[in-house]
């Protein structure tokens, strides 16, 4: 139900439709059209065209994850994207990229941010469903960002990491009309059913949200 409401809201945003009254009157029609579009994108063999090596964030380098660690999709046409999920990797940048390239790992996020300089690797296209949240629905609706570091090592949470990650999150929010707030930019630990604790208590949410909104 929440998802249905969200899709209606998003459709109106995409069309630039203004008045709340008009939205209520036309809602059913938009919903039907939305469902048709979703069916179309779910036909076997139908997906958005993509160019190998293309990235969604202009400052990212493409370091592709193994295809076993994500599922090809055509988001936001088949699944609406309404969450950004923040992770801390419990590993270095390079080790994180290495495990994402290992097909037996079974998990990958869309991006990895390096601590020392904020360098960003894109490992899965935003079109695709990356396995990072530990929850099917949240994988389908979110973009996942891993950050180099450990939940109990504050030295990894550098200015460069916060600033670069915040620009990345701001861009994701702008692309999919996601509100820049704590309800939509969430810790991995807040995903229902997750037993992960990242990004942990050292992650400075006030600072991060401030940077996202200013980016």
CB 88 within 8 A of CB 150: yes
> Cα 60 to chain center, whole Å?
14
Q: Which of residues 161-190 bind Zn ion (CB under 5 A)?
A: 188
Compute the least distance from the CB of residue 84 to Zn ion, in Å. 13
Burial of residue 97, with CB atoms counted within 10 A of its CB: 0-12 exposed, 13-18 middle, 19 or more buried: buried
Among 12, 57, 83, 196, binds Zn ion (CB under 5 A): 196
Number of chain positions touching Zn ion (CB under 5 A)? 4
Per rule CB under 5 A, is residue 110 in the interface with Zn ion?
no
Q: Which of residues 72-101 bind Zn ion (CB under 5 A)?
A: 87
C-alpha to C-alpha distance for 145 and 100, rounded to whole angstroms? 13
Residue span 120-159 as binding mask against Zn ion, x where in contact by CB under 5 A, dash where not:
----------------------------------------
Between 64 and 144, CB nearer to Zn ion = 144
Between 10 and 188, CB nearer to Zn ion = 188
C-alpha to C-alpha distance for 188 and 92, rounded to whole angstroms? 18
Residue span 31-70 as binding mask against Zn ion, x where in contact by CB under 5 A, dash where not:
----------------------------------------
CB 75 within 8 A of CB 134: no
Length of the chain as a residue count: 215
Between 135 and 177, CB nearer to Zn ion = 135
User: Sign of torsion, CA 100 133 213 115?
Assistant: negative
Compute the least distance from the CB of residue 180 to Zn ion, in Å. 21
Between 27 and 134, CB nearer to Zn ion = 134
- 120: its two tokens: 């960003």
5-13, 27-35, 117-125, 197-205 -> range binding Zn ion (CB under 5 A):
197-205
C-alpha to C-alpha distance for 34 and 5, rounded to whole angstroms? 12
* Region of residue 40 (left: phi > 0; alpha: psi -120 to 50; beta: else): alpha
Among 69, 140, 198, 211, binds Zn ion (CB under 5 A): 198
Residue ranges binding Zn ion (CB under 5 A):
87, 188, 196, 198
């Amino acid at each position: 139900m929440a998802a249905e409401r969200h899709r209606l809201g998003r459709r109106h945003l995409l069309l630039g439709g203004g008045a709340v009254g008009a939205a209520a009157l036309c809602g059913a029609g938009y919903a039907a059209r939305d469902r048709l579009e979703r069916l179309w994108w779910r036909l076997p063999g139908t997906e958005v065209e993509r160019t190998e090596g293309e990235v969604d964030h202009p400052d990212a380098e493409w370091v592709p994850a193994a295809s076993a660690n994500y599922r090809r999709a055509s988001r936001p046409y088949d699944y609406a994207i309404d969450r950004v999920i923040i992770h801390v990797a419990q590993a270095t940048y390079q080790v994180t990229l290495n495990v994402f390239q290992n097909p037996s790992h079974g998990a990958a996020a869309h991006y990895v941010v390096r601590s020392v300089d904020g360098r960003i690797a894109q490992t899965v296209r935003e079109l695709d469903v990356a396995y990072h949240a530990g929850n099917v629905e949240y994988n389908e609706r979110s973009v996942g960002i891993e950050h180099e570091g450990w939940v109990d090592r504050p030295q990894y949470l550098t200015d460069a990491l916060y600033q670069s990650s915040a620009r990345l999150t701001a861009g994701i929010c702008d692309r999919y009309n996601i509100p820049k707030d704590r309800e939509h930019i969430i810790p991995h630990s807040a995903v229902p059913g997750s037993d992960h604790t990242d990004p942990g208590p050292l992650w400075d949410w006030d600072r991060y949200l401030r940077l996202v909104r200013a980016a």
